[in-house]
Homo-oligomer: A and B are copies of this chain.
């Protein structure tokens, strides 16, 4: 905002986050330093969160697994958190070399207080005063992502991708004006551009839509970081660290967004289907089947049960493809216990979804989706819906075709204002 020449220019506080690829070499670290210094010289207060240099976390994990495959998770956190310690120090040195004072801090120093669930801890609180002091002095502050400290002073880590969450939590705690997540793509797209050449980068997307996309296979952001951004209303931008411009802004829904019925079409191959045939229709059978899978730590996604007239029913559900064989073995005994007739499976399926907050207020989206797929001869095997999403399971070989068909059907290659169906 500008109020004429005598007004004070507002200083913005920006949190920038760079992933492992962005700090993967000395040259890349220097490039990140240049970006942070540019924001600082533009008059902003800058806090930078970084991951470990790409490859470093894997190196440390393989050292750990070399010592023992049944490692203690507290000690795992001690070892892997060293990765970010190296990258923050190097980045602070690179920023200093450009003539701007920088100081690096580890999770325990600033401090990122977490619970004590080692290797997937959750942030409870961030003490920001040391960071604010440094910012007031004109320093750039560099913070280790991915790590924290529990009440007892033990080092904790937030799980893979946790640096996104560190950055958003930090932006919330410092009341930052915005949080920039630099990654190797330049934003969130209407579809995977490798499948749909006419896919468009979204300038804006709502937190809720992004949550669905993150859980439907878009690997841009850790789900937990989007949850936090939504909760604390942190304006979040996804940007490329390799090219200027572009980016997608995550923000709260507004009227304009609601007019767009479908924002994106996603796809995922990480699916397998299992059907238990001839299940006696009596209480407790579902609990037997899904209890066994839960005990084996296998996540079940969609579940469909056909209503039976004969006293028998068929039960179909999906599991992650990597757990398919394990799931079949796990179910062998329960299936006998409940006296089901047969168990079948298919690991060659895919999930294609349409996501959009506009669905809340627009009827007919499902119908349009099914009609478009049918017109191209694509058979739908399973359907699952939420308020702002429709997912279908289909044979894997139709996945790309289905994505392109739906991208066309919802006119996602057009500017939102030009879409016929959006009005």
| Chain A residues engaging chain B, CB cutoff 8 angstroms | 26, 29-30, 60, 63-64, 66-68, 70-72, 74-79, 81-83, 85-86, 88-90, 92-94, 96-97, 102-104, 106, 108-109, 153, 155
Contacts and interface: CB of A to CB of B under 8 A. Distances in A.
Contacts of A97: 67-68, 70-71
Given A26-B66, A63-B26, A104 B75 contact: yes
B86 A63 contact: yes
Nearest to A142: B75
Contacts of A68: 93-94, 96-97
A299 to B, nearest CB: 28
Contact of A96 (B72, B77, B89, B93): B72
B78 A85 contact: yes
29 contacts: A26-B63, A29-B67, A63-B90, A67-B93, A67-B94, A68-B94, A68-B96, A68-B97, A70-B97, A71-B96, A71-B97, A72-B93, A72-B96, A74-B103, A75-B93, A75-B96, A75-B102, A75-B103, A76-B93, A77-B89, A78-B89, A78-B92, A78-B106, A79-B93, A81-B85, A82-B83, A85-B85, A108-B108, A109-B153
Given A108-B108, A109-B153, A153-B109, A79 B89 contact: yes
Main secondary structure, interface of A, reads helix
The 3 lowest CB-CB distance pairs between A and B, nearest first, are: A79-B89, A78-B89, A68-B97
Contacts of A155: 106
Nearest to A62: B26
Given A26-B63, A63-B26, A90-B63, A79 B70 contact: no
Copies of this chain assembled into the complex: 2
Contacts of A92: 72, 75, 78
A89 B66 contact: no
A94 B69 CA distance: 10
A404 to B, nearest CB: 45
A90 B108 contact: no
B104 A89 contact: no
A83 to B, nearest CB: 8
Contact of A104 (B78, B96, B104): B78
Nearest to A26: B66
